[in-house]
Chain A
Amino acid sequence: MTPSIYQVIHRQEEFAGTFTLRLQVQRKNRTNPPMRFNPGQFNMLYAFGTGESAISFSGLACGRELEGEGSILIHTIRAQGNVTRALECLREGDTLGVRGPFGQGWPLQKAKGKELLIIAGGLGLAPLRPVIYAALEGRLAANKVRLFYGARHPSELLYREELESWAKQIEQEISVDHGDGTWPGHIGVITDPLQAARIDGANTVAFLCGPEIMMRFCIQALLRKGVPASAISLSMERNMKCATGLCGHCQWGPNFICKDGPVFCYEDIRPWLQIRSL
């Protein structure tokens, strides 16, 4: 499966080393139908000559981002390996390859009539951004949506301006590991505000994405509040090469993260999450 070629039409530096690209399919491929995806799925982004990296969709699921002749893809990326560092060098007008969409996304239908908790750590907010937009547009039919977001430092918050605009409709608890003197919010791990929150367990669903350790502790807090295991979804990360279930890299117990995930229902993967170095 070869990548389609896309062009960077906008580049936004979120903070040092982390950036958001808006991509549009190359003019000669515009006759292809626009890429449709579910929030939580991912693309393989190909930096010419360097390789591919699995990056989740941060753009809207449908509607608004369909501009002009082709759909716009939004991907938020942290430069940490060879490929993502090469992607970091791309500027507006530059081209890259895109293969996708791959994997299983968030079970949005579970939020219907429930309170949805969106729990993100660091870059984990990126695959949840389309869920937030779906909520803002009323497409989830959730009773209420709350965002718990933890970052290392106030300067390392993603989508700063959007966070402020979301606050009008979505209750937010933002926590940082280290304050900067002016930070008015909570300092510490995101599990603290989660534990302090009033949560009606039986009528709550939770979507989590972040470091595994953060997700494990948040899940324990949710379970203690009576949120059923079947109402908790989390997005997992492993090394991926093919994204099509053939290369074996992303195995996690019996699961292939690329095709069975990256979003899993906690009830289904509970035994595997407890095993170190699996």
Chain B
Amino acid sequence: MDYLLHASDLERLIQAIYKDGYQIFGPTINDKAITYGEISSSADLPQGWTDIQEGGRYRLKRRTDKAFFGYAVGPHSWKKYLQLPHRPIWKASRQHQDIEVIEIQETAPKLAFLGVRSCELHAIAIQDRVLTEGDYTNENYRQRRAQLFTVAVNCTSAAATCFCTAMNTGPEVKLPSDLTLTEVIEGAAHFFLIRSGSASGAQILSELSLRPAGMREKNLANGRVQQLDEEMRKGPRHFDSSDLKELLYRNLDSPSWDKVAERCLSCANCTMACPTCFCSTVEDTTDLSGEHSERWERWDSCFTADLSHLTGGPVRSDTRSRYRQWMTHKLATWQDQFGSSGCVGCGRCITWCPVGIDLTEEVRSIRDLECKQAGSQEQP
């Protein structure tokens, strides 16, 4: 059931979530980018701003309207609140020949995310499978995730770098979310369609006592999402992803990897911006007495030499093998490991690559080279 929420009532929604004991995080303007941070009112949102994105380029621009969610995605993803970038794992102390190790357990905060895009809901679902559905779990993630409240937003505009239609992850929100919004600005009217997808979402909605949306409002909102879907499918970054695993498994020695390695800086930006990349490492430190030690976990990246370090040097000693690992993991081996692609088509890796390497172009390059090779072999 869709309800009507006037733009001026967005504040009431935020306060209702806040009153339920949630710490609310959402989009805010920070360092000339829309990043995720703590939100206390609708005034913190990037109202009237949009983002212009291309390979290696990101700029904020004023919109001609007062849209709250008129941007795509920024450099941050929600994973920074669920799989923490840096967290303590255990404390250890040593006295004479006795060692004691004490696990550090956090009391998980009640988090609410405001403005979660469809691709980002998919990213969270992917991280759930990796970090909580195997034989072992990341307990800190599991606890933070278990209490999470999401307010999703249907996309009615996209950045040039977005390719969710290729990965079947958007732009329409189809995964469960506690609440889902669709923002509409039509002439002087500015409203949201809002629906609940859980009991706690329904509870918040009932507190707002909204009226059901009319047919015209529903058509306007759904029309925007459908229109975007159609536009994106005609766009240059849309592609058929159904055979990616087979394509990449056939092409682990494609000359395309050598070409991309000439440009890739192995800087790890793509893995930090990616909402699904989950690699982590641990660091052990001691104090000066040598009797107290701590172990911390932090995000790691397959673009570092250290990740594949073995005696005798890293297994992936060159950029070619690291880029190949990242891209084949994301698009191919992930499917064998966790039953889905590891890519949600959010385009962050394209925008935040300092040299503008474009994953969708790399897929095309591998495919084209394979076709060309097959063609030249057929000729006598």
Interface, chain A (partner B; CB < 8 A)? 1-3, 5, 7, 26, 46, 48-52, 80-81, 93-97, 237-239, 241-242, 244-249, 251, 253-254, 256, 259, 271, 275-278
Contacts and interface: CB of A to CB of B under 8 A. Distances in A.
A49 B290 contact: yes
A237 B285 CA distance: 26
Contact of B310 (A237, A245, A278): A237
Interface in B205-247: none
Interface in B13-48: none
A81 B333 CA distance: 30
B321 interface: yes
B284 A249 contact: no
B329 interface: yes
Contact of B92 (A48, A246, A254): A48
A95 B135 contact: no
Q: Interface of chain B, helix or strand or loop or mixed?
A: mixed
A1 B137 CA distance: 10
A244 B136 contact: yes
Contact of B135 (A241, A244, A277): A244
Q: Interface of chain A, helix or strand or loop or mixed?
A: loop
B252 A275 contact: yes
12 contacts: A1-B136, A49-B92, A94-B97, A95-B97, A96-B99, A244-B134, A244-B136, A246-B130, A249-B281, A249-B300, A275-B253, A277-B318
Nearest to B283: A51
A242 B308 CA distance: 14
B333 A49 contact: no
Interface residues of B, number: 49
A5 B284 CA distance: 17
Given A2-B90, A277-B317, 11 more contacts: A3-B101, A5-B99, A48-B293, A51-B284, A238-B310, A239-B310, A245-B134, A251-B302, A256-B337, A277-B315, A278-B316
B336 interface: yes
Q: Which 6 A-B pairs have the closest CB atoms?
A: A248-B279, A244-B136, A254-B336, A277-B321, A49-B286, A49-B293
A46 B99 CA distance: 11
Contacts of A253: 333
Contacts of B99: 5, 48, 95-97
Contact of A2 (B101, B281, B332): B101
B365 interface: no
Contacts of B317: 277
